[in-house]
Amino acid sequence: MPNKTFISVLLSCILLACNSTSKNQENTLAPCILRDNGADSKINLSEIITKHYRIIPLETKKTSLVGSVNKIIKRDSIFYILSNECKIQTFNHEGKHLYTLEKMGRGPEEYTYIGDFDVYTMNGQKEIWLCDVNCIKIYDATTMQHIKNIYYPFVINKFKKMQDNHILLMTGQNKKLISLSDPSGTIIDSCLITKATNTMFKPVQFIPYKDKFIYQIDFTNSCVIYDPEHEQFHENFIVDTENNWLSERQYDALFQEFEYDFFRYLKNYTFIKTLRYLNNTLYIVSHKDKKRYLHIVSGSKQQTIQFAPNTRIVNDIFSSTNDLNFISSLNMGESDNSLLLLIEPSNQDIRQIKKGSDSNRVIARINANDNPVILEYF
């Protein structure tokens, strides 16, 4: 009886903790986030997100060297990878290199840098869109031929095209941080006053969420959700405001006091590095001091798993030490039907592993200097 009474009281406390949200917390994506609640139980890396995964080693040859990866996009089984060398490499679903977009220069069909890119299907043809200073430049995704430019009166740092061809824009040189334009570049609407703290450019700045898009405000617990159907912006919290989640006010105060040295003081807060949404499930990566957490929220169910520096995750994919910091690379990629993680061969022993959960094929040889490897959950 005492045990049953204790369990009942404990469950009541947990329910109260999850239900006692303030009126501000009603507008949250994940109303209740608990601490790692399975410290003594083990979970396999192969099952941490879904039970289906693939390993894709990117082909390594002179013409396909990727270097340091800035962003990964997967569209219709093709991987598009932006490197810090301002070129975009394409690989098929097995990792074989296909094409390269590399047109650095100051000519009318060239670009001076790539702040962001994405891939869209227009009239049945794949196109690569990239932002270069104050314009978006568009190229054929197969021939890499230039198609056209869309010009703006301010610098474009990040963007996302909607199905109705309207374009979400992030800029640091306009009065408002986020703008919405029509296909010709005319501004329709805007939101969020630009602040000096808005310097956290992320590989994927506008995150698909159900039929909407999330813009996380730097590393804070605040976000703006854009609803394309109604062409409206809404401000939200990502998770409940308990447990010292980093707020906008705290973030701004740190910047005011320490300027760009404020990163050293983020360890005192729980901050959100990234989030993704797949199959009605929200995945959130958070950091607190040196600890790294993966939060998985599906309806009323949720679990929190610490993956670094100590973890209960069993690395049953790679024959290596349990260094799982690559889970933080969830912020690097976007796919229509999967979650993408990026693994550097120099950091993992990935020479003798299965290619995926549904395959007995084994990766025979990957050298430390080879191109990265993609771990895809679907």
pLDDT in single tens digits along all 378 residues of the chain: 444 443 333 333 333 333 333 334 457 888 767 677 666 688 888 888 888 898 899 999 999 999 899 999 999 999 999 998 899 999 999 999 999 999 999 998 999 999 999 999 999 999 999 999 999 999 999 999 999 999 999 999 999 999 999 999 998 777 899 999 999 999 999 998 888 777 678 999 999 999 999 999 999 999 999 999 999 999 999 998 666 789 999 999 998 999 888 888 888 888 999 999 999 999 999 998 889 999 999 988 888 999 998 888 888 887 656 778 899 999 999 999 999 999 887 766 565 565 566 655 556 567 778 899 999 998
Q: Name the percent of the chain in helix, strand, coil, to the closest 5.
A: 15, 45, 40
- pTM value > 0.75: yes
pLDDT of residue 156: 95
- Residue spans per domain, the chain: 27-62+164-377
Contact partners, residue 257, CB within 8 Å, separation at least 6:
none
Angstrom CA distances, 289 to 102, 169, 179, 266, 275, stand at 39, 32, 34, 8, 19
Which residue is listed with tokens 């794949």?
A: 126
Please state the separation of Cα 85 from the chain's center in Å. Answer: 21
Q: In angstroms, how far is CA 363 from the centroid of its own chain?
A: 27
Cis-peptide into 309, omega within 30 deg: yes
Residues 6+ apart with CB under 8 A from 157: 115, 116, 131, 170, 171, 172, 201, 205
Quote the pLDDT of residue 363: 63
Question: By CB neighbour count within 10 A (0-12 exposed, 13-18 middle, 19+ buried), where does 374 fall?
Answer: buried
- pLDDT at position 72: 98
Residue 203: other Cβ atoms inside 10 A: 19
Q: What is the pLDDT of residue 22?
A: 37
For position 49, what pLDDT does the model report? Answer: 87
| Residue with tokens 């490897």, as numbered in its chain | 373
DSSP conformation class of 35: -
Contact status, residue 97 vs residue 58, Cβ threshold 8 Å: yes
CA distance 210 to 331: 18
How far apart are the C-alpha atoms of 264 and 290, rounded to whole Å?
A: 11
SS3 label, residue 366:
coil
Instruction: Using the CB atoms, write b or e for 57-85: b if 16+ within 10 Å.
Output: bbbbeeebbbeebbbbbbbeebbbbbbee
